[in-house]
A and B are shown apart, each in its own frame.
Chain A
Amino acid sequence: MSAAPQKAKAGAEKIKVIVDAVVPLNDLVTRFEFKRRDGGAFPTFSGGAHTVVEMQDGDITRLNPYSLMSDPSDTSKYCISVRRDDEGRGGSLFMHRNVKVGDEMTLTYPVNLFSLDLRAKKHVFLAGGIGITPFKAMIAQLERLNGNWELHYACRSEALATYAADLTEHYPNNVHIYYDDQKQAIDLDGLLAGQPLGTHIYICGPAGMINWVHNTAEAAGWPSDNVHSEEFLAPQPGKPFQVRLCKSDKVIEVGEHESLLEAIERAGVEAPFLCRGGACGQCETDVVEFDGEFIHRDHWLEPEDHESGKKIMPCVSRFIGKSLVLDR
């Protein structure tokens, strides 16, 4: 329409940062604090937002999303807390083993796929393990707005209860901790039954916990719009496969430990993305033809899209079979 139509860039805007602090919290979780390299202020964000951290691991560029967990109104720094995943593809291991104070890194602008419903009369947070991180920012935001909230946080043990002591100390009346090794569990039926009208529930944790809360709330008659969840999927390793990208006229190999999206990027083909975790829909790609079977793992496409064989989310989904041609 106007003078110079600019092509949309892949991913969100980027911010160049320097690692300002590395704070081990327990055996598994370490907090990383970032300052801007230009000394300026970070953009304010909304609780529940994440940033994608770019890691230069030798020849490999890793892009992992992490929830921003600092106080959103503190524009002097951004913080993330990373749980070490010894079985994963290496992003969290790289953060734990290689990232040191003073390192230069790149983050994306905040993207929120898990925001508060500001109409809620009350916010109930259900966290499992490292799923506590988005709630740290949401709580800071709600405290500023005099919001009504409570947190139910399930952890494996006291030793691995990231931020539990800190939260309990600051908000003794709002925070409830449950330790698996002490056989404590959230009484979900009782919790749901006692909520006033206009309550919204937010879940961040393992898939099993998310499904449990959704199913229990639905059975108890909760409107689905009042139950919110976020689960970042990490791409899973799988058998290597070959893909033809017809627009860019390239044939690429997707390795065992990389995602289809990463393989596309490695081939120098620009592909849109935001969350890299199967949730935002940005990387949705049309399938031109295929002979084989898809392993769909995203939360974005509808079941009928999955069955149609016409769409794939290359950030988390894979393929097994003879041939796959994508419109990219």
Chain B
Amino acid sequence: MTIQFNNETFRDDYSFKNSDRAIARFPFPFHEDSYMYSVNMEQHRGGPEGSVYEMRFDVDEHYVSEMQDRAIVLDQDPLRCQSLPHMTLAGWDLLELIMVSKSEDYPDLFELHRDGNTWRWINKPMGIDDTFTFMDESTLPYGPMEYITRQAQGDFAVLDQRDDMLWMDAGMVTTQADWSLDFDIGMNFFEWHAPVPKAHEMGIFKRALKFLLNVQQGAPARRLNWTMTVNPLLDTSPENYHKWGVQKTELTPENIGSKQHLRVELQTFFRLPRSNALVFPIRCYLIAFQDIVRTPKWGRRLHRVIRDLPEELATYKGFIDNRPMMLDYLGQFDDGLPTSPGVWPDKDTEPALHK
């Protein structure tokens, strides 16, 4: 497989765009015409060919540009990447996991050559060819977690596991849906989820924690989460809210189709072998409303989900003010016909829009 990497930006002129292939493989998150929280975990053992679920760490056309955007964020705010002292071993675990997975899953793009503890890592899309000593930090330009996550799409929360609890003790977080690693560092699972409405009362987090504590080596898991973002911004952080929050007011009926994006997170969970820590990669996929509605099933369904979403959730996800405008736009693509179950586009069987 050869990937043509886009040259694009996630800031300023927002030249980000999805190719037809990227739109077709977008991880649409709604399996029915309504949405409510659930733990919705499944095993992360591949998926349909070409889908974002196929590989352990999906690499797509946005890879190189996303890594450039991450470098800009880190340059302006180094605290987006932090690792408490006891998490270095987990950083090596993560480096190994990503290097092994990418070199096996994308042999034309990445190579890993191991001779004892002397490792050579080749990342062709980014033009990197480094030789280093595994477990010797002094042989890398950054700590192991920072080194490898500057070369891997998505945010990474590295969670220590102790006393039947998970702790946010390390991470690389530059493409986040309005949460801050610097604020959450050292917090436990319940503490960092405290702002989420409703889910605590529903017992979601207790069940999710139980599940995550038992994610075992060799048996990774995954789930999807979603929110809304105006403009294709990767860095919607609290630190930069003063820059992007105001952009939510710039939405108009004319520009909503291209400016309003559905933001989907593919969250995966891997037990790390040496440290017994849990890594939680959070991979962000963006798609403009005008690209979603090209798939009739997705257009119909997104309208119904947004229309019927409880007010607290629309508020928490930050689009309550723009919801009426979203519904005006999406309503044009909902003719009331039934949709098929599941997330897949069903292009051959789903009827065209009758409007």
Contact = CB atoms under 8 A, between A and B. Distances in A.
Contacts of A280: 214
Interface residues of B, number: 37
Interface residues on A, range: 35 or more
Contact of A45 (B45, B161, B217): B217
Interface stretch (A6-14, A98-106, A262-270): A6-14
A281 B214 contact: yes
Interface in A286-305: none
Interface stretch (A32-40, A56-64, A107-115): A107-115
Given A3-B51, A6-B45, 9 more contacts: A3-B342, A6-B42, A44-B274, A45-B273, A111-B217, A118-B87, A119-B84, A274-B214, A281-B214
A235 interface: no
Contact of A12 (B51, B53, B210, B219): B219
Interface of A: 1-6, 8-9, 12-13, 43-46, 48-49, 72-73, 109-112, 115-119, 141, 144-145, 225, 274, 280-282
Interface string B182-224: 0000000000000000000000000000100010111100111
A2 B53 contact: yes
B124 interface: no
B89 A145 contact: yes
Contacts of B344: 3
A5 B223 CA distance: 11
A144 to B, nearest CB: 8
B232 to A, nearest CB: 23
B274 A141 contact: yes
The 5 A-B pairs of least Cβ separation, nearest first, read A13-B218, A118-B86, A115-B276, A109-B218, A44-B273
A134 B275 CA distance: 15
A225 B163 contact: yes
A43 B273 contact: yes
18 contacts: A1-B343, A2-B222, A2-B224, A2-B343, A6-B43, A13-B216, A13-B217, A43-B273, A45-B273, A46-B275, A73-B274, A116-B276, A117-B162, A118-B87, A118-B89, A118-B160, A274-B216, A281-B210
Interface in B32-55: 40, 42-43, 45, 47-48, 51, 53
A225 B51 CA distance: 43
Nearest to B277: A118
Would you call the interface of chain B mostly helix, strand, loop, or mixed?
A: loop
B294 interface: no
B11 interface: no
Contacts of B135: 144
Interface in B288-305: none
Contacts of A73: 274
Contacts of B214: 274, 280-282
B29 interface: yes
Contacts of A9: 219
B270 to A, nearest CB: 12
Nearest to A272: B214
A49 B223 CA distance: 27
B47 A12 contact: no
B31 interface: yes
Contacts of B86: 118-119
Contacts of B210: 281
Interface string B321-355: 00000000000000000000011100000000000
A112 B93 CA distance: 15
A117 B87 CA distance: 11
Nearest to B96: A44
A109 B275 contact: no
Given A72-B274, A118-B160, A109 B216 contact: yes
A111 B87 CA distance: 19
Nearest to B273: A44
B275 to A, nearest CB: 6
A142 B342 CA distance: 48
A109 B219 contact: yes
Contacts of A6: 42-43, 45
Contacts of A118: 86-87, 89, 160, 275
Contacts of A110: 217, 273
A280 B164 CA distance: 10
B115 to A, nearest CB: 14
A8 B53 contact: no
Nearest to A44: B273
Contacts of A3: 47-48, 51, 53, 342-344
Contacts of A117: 162
Contacts of A49: 276
A5 B42 contact: yes
Contact of A43 (B51, B163, B218, B343): B218
A30 B343 CA distance: 54
A72 B272 CA distance: 13
A110 B219 CA distance: 11
